[in-house]
Chain A
Amino acid sequence: MTRPRLATGARLGYDEVRKEHVLLVPEGAVRLNRTAAEVLELCDGQRSVDEIVGALSERYDGADLRDDVRGLVEAMAQKGLVVDAAA
């Protein structure tokens, strides 16, 4: 995965009724915690995974988020929700 982006038609949103972040996809929705929503927001097809890690650890006082970010991006890619913009 070089430069991850959301799959065509996947759209991030915030559900005001249930008070949670969601990834809206054709005829479905994936509930997200705040961190996952932040990672996916950075999956814009421009940034590399390392750049996403860098951007996030700045927000979180330099915490090492490499494994978390990679794990999430890979899990979402397995489900077809994140694709590689470089592919």
Chain B
Amino acid sequence: MQQPRPFTLIAELSYRCPLHCPYCSNPVDIGAEKYRRELETEHWIRTFHEGRALGVLQLALSGGEPMLRRDLVELCAASRDAGLYSSLITAGTHFTRERAEALKSAGLDHVQISVQSPNAEENDRIAGNRSFEKKIAAARVAKELDFPLTINCVLHRQNLDRVEEVLDLALDLGAQRLELANTQYYGWAVANQQALMPTWEQLRRAEEAVERFRERVGPKIDVLWVLPDFYEDLPKPCMGGWGRTAIVVAPNGEVLPCQAASTIPGLEFANVREHPLEWIWNESDAFTRFRGTEWMQEPCRSCPLGRQEADFGGCRCQALRLTGDAAATDPVCRFSPHHDRVVAARESAQTDEFVYRAIKRPVRA
């Protein structure tokens, strides 16, 4: 079988971040010794070129907060030079006019700014940091410099009722895209599941608000709305399928098939310091373990809907977390013998208290 070609490279430049979002997808051990030694500039530049040679077209400069890297301008120039389309995935708090102009001149293509809520006070409470005003200022700077702008808002029980305000804010800021990203329960979100899990009623109302907005505003803003996994009964092709479309490079150079893959015990992650990206993609343990369909167990193996190549068994990290076996069928699937655990989790909304993301040890607010 011909190997799939990757399309997206997610460069997690640093796990440092001024925000403390309780649903952060970064590993919960971001304070660990192994993440302290971040890649050098030349490692990243080589990785961008190797990614392009493999087929990558889209580069996400992500984190943590990518703007804390002092070589970001150089990395944007290298991305353009390698033939990649670059997106800066930022909290916006460091996106000053001066730095934004330098990034623009270097060839940065697109800016994505997160807001935690369209309400300033709520934004700052969820982010664990006074950041709302800076984010709005950053979005205005991005527009003034003619960057295409995406606003991203991670949704959960404590902000879902404000979806209409999020939509209006994105319109007011002149965003081209709005990502309404329902929380996925990896990383820090696991510890906060009870504070984040929405109700079906909230999701239904939010979805209706999205529909009304789309009809009113048309194609001027592309609104991405995806129902959260926990309210589905067939899994999504996580990351477009394991080792099929995406490559994640952690700040220390480890290469993963998805941001949460480090939670899977026994997977070995090769490092761009030691191996060419092509070998890592084609041959390494982490990328080959769950690629394709050969590794599947029942009920995936004889899927009654023939969806093996449609959803690739869903999410490995979710399978591990809910069943203890990373090779099991994603329990989101109604054919999974563990589907009842997903149904039970829908009932779990209980608290408004967050465990905030922190580099050292988690603190209760």
- The answer for the CA separation of A80 and B57 in the assembled complex, in Å, is 20
Q: Within the complex, which residue of A16, A26, A29, A79 is in contact with B148, where a contact is CB–CB below 8 Å?
A: A26
Residue contact A80 to B85, C-beta cutoff 8 Å: no
Residue contact B55 to A26, C-beta cutoff 8 Å: no
Residues 145-175 of chain B: 1 if any A CB is under 8 Å from the residue's CB, otherwise 0?
0111010000000000000000000000000
Given A22-B57, A26-B110, CB of A8 within 8 Å of CB of B85: no
> How many of chain B's residues have a CB under 8 angstroms from any CB in A?
25
Which of A9, A15, A29 has the most B CB atoms < 10 Å from its CB?
A9
Residue contact A26 to B177, C-beta cutoff 8 Å: yes
Residue contact A27 to B87, C-beta cutoff 8 Å: yes
Q: Within the complex, which residue of B85, B176, B177 is in contact with A11, where a contact is CB–CB below 8 Å?
A: B85
Is A24 at the interface (CB under 8 A from chain B)? yes
Is A62 at the interface (CB under 8 A from chain B)? no
Residue contact B83 to A13, C-beta cutoff 8 Å: yes
Interface SS of B by simple majority: mixed
Q: Which residue of A lies closest to B222 (CB)?
A: A80
Given A18-B55, A22-B57, CB of A79 within 8 Å of CB of B219: yes
Q: Which residue of A lies closest to B52 (CB)?
A: A17
Residue contact B222 to A7, C-beta cutoff 8 Å: no
Q: Within the complex, which residue of B53, B60, B110, B219 is in contact with A9, where a contact is CB–CB below 8 Å?
A: B110
- The answer for the CA separation of A78 and B220 in the assembled complex, in Å, is 9
- The answer for the CA separation of A85 and B275 in the assembled complex, in Å, is 47
Is B5 at the interface (CB under 8 A from chain A)? yes
Residues 1-33 of chain A: 1 if any B CB is under 8 Å from the residue's CB, otherwise 0?
000000111110101111000101111110000
Q: Within the complex, which residue of B53, B110, B220 is in contact with A27, where a contact is CB–CB below 8 Å?
A: B110
- The answer for the CA separation of A17 and B6 in the assembled complex, in Å, is 11
CB distance from A28 to the nearest CB of B (A): 7
Residues 28-41 of chain A: 1 if any B CB is under 8 Å from the residue's CB, otherwise 0?
11000000000000
Chain B residues, CB < 8 A from A13 = 57, 83, 85
- The answer for the CA separation of A8 and B174 in the assembled complex, in Å, is 12
- The answer for the CA separation of A30 and B174 in the assembled complex, in Å, is 23
CB distance from B176 to the nearest CB of A (A): 7
Which of A11, A15, A18, A24 has the most B CB atoms < 10 Å from its CB?
A24
Residue contact B57 to A26, C-beta cutoff 8 Å: no
Residue contact B5 to A28, C-beta cutoff 8 Å: no
Q: Which residue of A lies closest to B53 (CB)?
A: A17
- The answer for the CA separation of A13 and B57 in the assembled complex, in Å, is 10
Residue contact B57 to A15, C-beta cutoff 8 Å: yes
Residue contact B83 to A9, C-beta cutoff 8 Å: no
Chain B residues, CB < 8 A from A18 = 5, 55
**Closest 6 A/B residue pairs (Cβ):** A9-B148, A80-B219, A24-B85, A26-B110, A17-B55, A8-B148
The chain B residues found within 8 Å of chain A, CB to CB, are 5, 7-8, 52-55, 57-58, 60, 83, 85, 87, 109-110, 112, 146-148, 150, 176-177, 219-220, 222
Task: Provide a sorted-by-A list of 28 A–B residue pairs whose CB atoms are within 8 angstroms.
Answer: A7-B176, A8-B146, A8-B147, A9-B148, A9-B176, A13-B57, A15-B55, A16-B83, A17-B52, A18-B5, A22-B57, A24-B58, A24-B109, A26-B85, A26-B110, A26-B148, A26-B150, A26-B176, A27-B60, A27-B112, A27-B177, A28-B58, A29-B7, A77-B219, A78-B219, A80-B219, A80-B220, A80-B222
Apart from A9-B176, A80-B176, what 4 extra A-B contacts exist at CB < 8 Å? A9-B109, A13-B83, A25-B85, A25-B148
